[in-house]
Amino acid sequence: MSRDNLYAYYREALQGRPLPLAFVDLDRFDANTKAILARAQETPICVASKSIRCVGLLKRILGASPRFQSIMAYSLREAVFLATQGCDNILVAYPVLSEVAARLSHAPQDAFSFRTIFDALRANRTIRLMVDCEAHVSNLEEYGARESVVVPVCIDLDMSTSFPGLYFGVRRSPVRTGEQALALWRCIQECPHVRLDGVMGYEAQIAGVQDSAPRARLKSAIIRRLKKRSLPQVRARRAAVVKALREAGARLQFVNGGGTGSIESTIEEHNVVTEVTVGSGFYAPGLFDHYARFRHQPAAGFALEITRRPAPNVFTCHGGGYIASGPAGSDRLPSIWLPEGAALLPLEGAGEVQTPVHYEGPEKLELGSPVFLRHAKAGELCERFNTLVLISEGRIVDEIPTYRGNGLAFV
């Protein structure tokens, strides 16, 4: 089936399905997977599950190449769930406290079901937890001792940069220098049930910020300059911390860095970084459209049904208000994807149960016609739908559960 008219392509592929629904174009998803492997050159890739949130597609990525060697999870419950699904080599990239003690009362029961991280570790599954302060370490030591298990951990390194009057980066870890990392390493050494396996430094201000945001030329020009000036600091800091830890005797098995938006610059640190994280590039959501060094193909979207026509060129759809996290602004709204030229109304945006769309183009829209939108971010789309409809070569080939469809919400 021809893709010349992409609106008609998806409309025909999804014909007869009740809307709204979320879908993934597998041909484009696979093309993005290949493009990501090419961008990362020889560097192994850690797949950010928060940007996928669907076990079936996570496994499709992992099966595409042995270079997809690990998973970056966003909660401990999620990591244990993924272990029950047969996944291994999981890094929980954000510190957890009470989750360590929590029992998974609703973990799916199957032949390989773990109820806790300790069951998974005892069965030789690799699940590593993130630490950035003594309290994180002592919490893990307490539970590790109680369960007679050594918990492998990773130190989260702050990669933000500061310029006079401007903090450029995210607020996560307080560990910035070799000395601070060494102090935490000494604390880990004093804990027999905690073991340091790696270091992670996510340069969010480079990986997660577009180079040329629409309608923000001046701001984008400033951001591009800041990114350029930030890069040498990121490299120097990551190298200094890893050197300090190695010289002090830490046996680091991995050094993780980057994200979809920074693959090219992160892999240049091949003497230090051993794996690059990638998540959003597989679905390629709206916020990843405007980077200078790459462009992945939009592969995930959702279809809304036109149910009303309040004016000749206004088509009101059912559903649609799926707003992305982050600083509230118009870039967090979903974007109308197809038909081309359709737009949200500035005073209404995407609504809680209805989304009016303005359209004056060549497609003949009528009650019952679909309008296709893209979420601003990647995995958050899956928090709105129980399933993803998979399309390939112009037809539906499968429909698989999201985490939400598995009955699971992790954060």
Ligand X SMILES: Cc1ncc(COP(=O)(O)O)c(C=O)c1O
Where does this chain bind ligand X (CB under 6 A)?
48, 51, 72, 93, 202, 207-208, 259-260, 277-280, 378
Closer residue to ligand X (CB): 132 or 305: 132
Cα 389 to Cα 397: distance, rounded to the nearest angstrom: 8
Q: Of 61, 71, 67, 69, nearest to 40 (Cα)?
A: 67
Contacts of 337 (CB under 8 A, 6+ apart): 298, 301, 372, 373, 374
Closer residue to ligand X (CB): 280 or 369: 280
Cα 401 to Cα 406: distance, rounded to the nearest angstrom: 6
Closer residue to ligand X (CB): 11 or 77: 77
**Nearest approach, Cβ of 299 to ligand X (angstroms)?**
13
**Nearest approach, Cβ of 132 to ligand X (angstroms)?**
12
Evaluate the omega torsion of the peptide bond into residue 339 and state whether it is cis, within 30 degrees of 0: yes
**Nearest approach, Cβ of 390 to ligand X (angstroms)?**
20
* DSSP summary character for residue 324: P
**Nearest approach, Cβ of 356 to ligand X (angstroms)?**
31
DSSP helix/strand/coil, 315: strand
Closer residue to ligand X (CB): 26 or 199: 199
Cα 280 to Cα 260: distance, rounded to the nearest angstrom: 6
Question: What is the DSSP secondary-structure string of 95-157?
Answer: --SGGGT---TTPPPSTT--SSHHHHHHTT--EEEEE-SHHHHHHHHHHHHHHT-PEEEEEEE
Closer residue to ligand X (CB): 84 or 280: 280
**Nearest approach, Cβ of 156 to ligand X (angstroms)?**
8
**Nearest approach, Cβ of 246 to ligand X (angstroms)?**
22
The angle at the Cα of 58, spanning 54 to 62, to the nearest 5 degrees, equals 170
Closer residue to ligand X (CB): 160 or 316: 160
Closer residue to ligand X (CB): 25 or 203: 203
**Nearest approach, Cβ of 269 to ligand X (angstroms)?**
15
Cα 278 to Cα 276: distance, rounded to the nearest angstrom: 7
Query: If you count them, how many residues does the chain have?
Result: 411
Cα 164 to Cα 204: distance, rounded to the nearest angstrom: 19
Closer residue to ligand X (CB): 130 or 344: 130
**Nearest approach, Cβ of 277 to ligand X (angstroms)?**
4
**Six-digit token string for 166:** 């401007």
Closer residue to ligand X (CB): 191 or 272: 272
**Nearest approach, Cβ of 169 to ligand X (angstroms)?**
12
Check: CB of residue 272 under 8 Å from CB of residue 255: yes
Check: CB of residue 92 under 8 Å from CB of residue 119: no
